[in-house]
Amino acid sequence: MEHVERIKQILYAYVTAGLIERDVDKAVAYMVDDVIGVGMGEQGFASSKEALRTIMQTTMKQEKQAEEQAEYQAEYQDVKVVLHTEISASVYAKITLKKICKEQTSLSRFIQLLTLVFREGDWYICATYAIPQGLTEESIETYPMAFADQTLKQLRAELRDSTFELMNASLSGGIFGVYVVDGKYPLYFLNDSVARMLGYSKEEFENTFREDLSEVIYQEDKEYVKYHLERRIPEEEDYTLRFRLRKKDGSLVWIIEHGRQTIDKEGRRVLISVVTDISDIVELQNNLEDKTALLEEQADELTAQNEELQMQSDSIAEQARRIAVSEERFRIALQNTSNIIFEYDLIHNTILYTDLTDGAKDIVISREAAGNHFLADGTLTEDSVREIQHILNQIQEGALQKDCIVQAKNIQGEVGWYRISLTGIPDEHAVVTRAVGLIADITRQREAEIANEQEEQYHQAVLADVMATYTINFSKDIFESCQVHDVRCEEVPPNTPYQAYMEQVSLKRMSEHDRSAFLNTLTKGSVLDAFEQGKKELEVEYQVLNPDGTNVWMKDILRLLTDSTTRERKGYLYVKNVDNDKKKSLALQQKAERDSLTGVYNKGATQKYISEKLATLDGIKTGVMMILDIDHFKKVNDTYGHLFGDEVLQQIGDILRNYARATDIVGRIGGDEFCAFFRGIRTHQSVKALAKTICSQVEQIQTPMPGGITLSCSIGITVCDGEQKTFEQVYKEADDALYVVKGAGRNGTAFYEDGK
């Protein structure tokens, strides 16, 4: 509770400083240095305290230039604090900001969501969000995490792009991806290297060939590429093609394409390719062929030509070696996905390149401290450091691929799990001197695995945790023995009559409904019938009354057997406490029956429960069915938008619930149509008074703009006074009455009898 109140104080102080007092320094004092701001300024995003300070100062300066000094007041609604862990939390609030300028008042409403971390004895803002109006309270707890996942994925994608660009520096080519759609190849992505290779800027290339990348393929090579991509490659995973592309200036470039096909999350076929400019090699090969022919015609120049050919061959071999090394890097990058990619020099213990932050690049790593730098200067356990050293040794001894899982504390002080994979790269002498490394953050996966293990252990413990075990002889109708492990179960002496005892227990500790189910399953007659039917097990769940007045859900499991010697029919009765699981199940059932927007019953549950009520009606027990429809609801949506329309539906659900008792049913059965069933004897006067009160409450719902549309509703009513009717019948009667109201101009009530 202390943390919750402190977090609320920070929310109020932050809003007051930034929006009321307009004191930027005071507002950012509540933030960490690496705070993230979303929905801030024209760019919509800021990634540090200084960036946020600049945005806020610029905004205030523009306001001062646009108008005279204004006075601000803030009102808060629905302030909610969610503690995610001991050091992370979120606070949510609806805020109305009143602005008074030149004796004119204007209002603006927004939702403020802050994410905070606990550091050095106090809470600080680490992220401030501009929240869509459609965000529901149920999604508040997951929204910051979902936003963090999305942001991290974006940042990591940017980091991977920089790594690929670093690797591309040693290649004449790059990476691109395309979709395969109806004989066309829409652009999926590309890096700057591909665009530069063809004489375009990246933006110019994307605008020109976004719809179909095949337009850049040389006309004579298009059928060759199409044949392989659409007929041969779909049966394979990886492929290699060699063809020509047309540059912006009209010239041609020969490329070799190493690709891999995959399927994106929407089921579309995607090709990811590494391309290399081999024009020089092709030209050299063509020259080689020409000069070989020339050698056959000019025997007298054989010696000179041989020397020249040897030089060209050496040049080709060197270029091929460089291409092979670069292609190996891309092959490894394509086969593995990770948050961090780096290349490590095993001889000098040096990181050659990495996509970590700039401060962690090009660090000389000692064998003792290697792990600390692999994870962005995080701190590893001793066991984790030993794991990293072990796989480094194995790679250096000739192993081509090794990985390990380590636990580390990152620079924010948060402990996580990481998988480090190393792939050895041999040099021209087949000696492994370098390794490409991949570091994947598997914290969420590992925590899920641990949680699943703990959940499974708990589940097994519940199954094994029997409150009591009874041995029963059904042929003699007696208890033979018992083992009781819980005070809520009774010791039953041997030879106690079974049938009489079960009836006594059910009368003493169970409700009428549970007693019926209990006895129908476990009475002697029911059990003997089960024996005849060949059943091996019977189960029944019920609630019992504890001495303290509370109810607890229990389950009886009766295992049936026949004594092989005496042929007597016996059973082992296991009593288990299933209170937690049962209540969770009932809660999920209730949630499935509720309308997600208004919280009242949905259409299916409404029909089910009203049908049950109707089945119990007689001359004494009566009921009233009402159908409520919002007048001109489409005009409300068109005028104020669907968000306000949804808010109206929520308020009407609240109004109906306020006048419903525990025995009444309130549900939403259509877009703006509600249904209510009130149990009990009611006179026409009292029913009509209730309906008018509901109409009056609807008229009091405030619209966003003063003087706008006045809300109203129409209500059709039918009285169920004992005659057995189905839901369909009473619904039609109330609906007919509703149309009487609409025909009379809406905004009123009518009984079914009035419209006959």
Integer Cα distance of 385 and 184 in angstroms: 50
Q: With contact defined as beta carbons under 8 Å apart, do 399 and 424 qualify? A: yes
Q: With contact defined as beta carbons under 8 Å apart, do 677 and 664 qualify? A: yes
Computed from CA positions of residues 319, 322, 324, 326, in that sequence, does the dihedral angle turn out positive or negative? negative
Please name every residue paired with 38 in a beta bridge, in sequence order, or none if there are none.
Answer: 45
590: which 2 tokens?
A: 């209730």
SS3 291: helix
Catalytic residue among 514, 556, 631, 672: 672
Q: With contact defined as beta carbons under 8 Å apart, do 45 and 38 qualify? A: yes
181: which 2 tokens?
A: 């759609």
Burial of 678 (0-12, 13-18, 19+ CB in 10 A): buried
Read off the amino acid at residue 463: L
Task: For the chain, give the number of residues.
Answer: 756
Rounded to 5 degrees, what are φ and ψ at 104?
Answer: -110, 140
Integer Cα distance of 522 and 135 in angstroms: 50
Q: With contact defined as beta carbons under 8 Å apart, do 639 and 709 qualify? A: yes
Integer Cα distance of 604 and 431 in angstroms: 70
The distance of Cα 325 from the centroid of its chain, to the nearest Å, equals 40
Within 13 A of 335's CA, how many CA atoms are on the CB side?
A: 14
Alpha helices in 67-142 (DSSP H): none
Integer Cα distance of 542 and 416 in angstroms: 44
Q: With contact defined as beta carbons under 8 Å apart, do 152 and 160 qualify? A: no
Look up tokens 């606070």; give the residue.
Answer: 91
Q: With contact defined as beta carbons under 8 Å apart, do 72 and 20 qualify? A: yes
Alpha helices in 336-482 (DSSP H): 370-374, 382-396, 443-464
617: which 2 tokens?
A: 């009606």
Integer Cα distance of 345 and 626 in angstroms: 79
Please state whether 146 falls in left (phi above 0), alpha (psi between -120 and 50) or beta.
alpha
Integer Cα distance of 205 and 219 in angstroms: 18
**Residues with Cβ within 8 Å of residue 617, at least 6 apart in sequence:** 623, 720, 722, 723, 724
Please name every residue paired with 110 in a beta bridge, in sequence order, or none if there are none.
Answer: 95
264 is catalytic: no
Please state whether 747 falls in left (phi above 0), alpha (psi between -120 and 50) or beta.
left
Alpha helices in 17-92 (DSSP H): 24-28, 49-66
Strands 71-83 and 45-46: unpaired
Give CA angle at 648 (645, 651), nearest 5°.
155
Read off the amino acid at residue 124: Y
Active site residues: 672
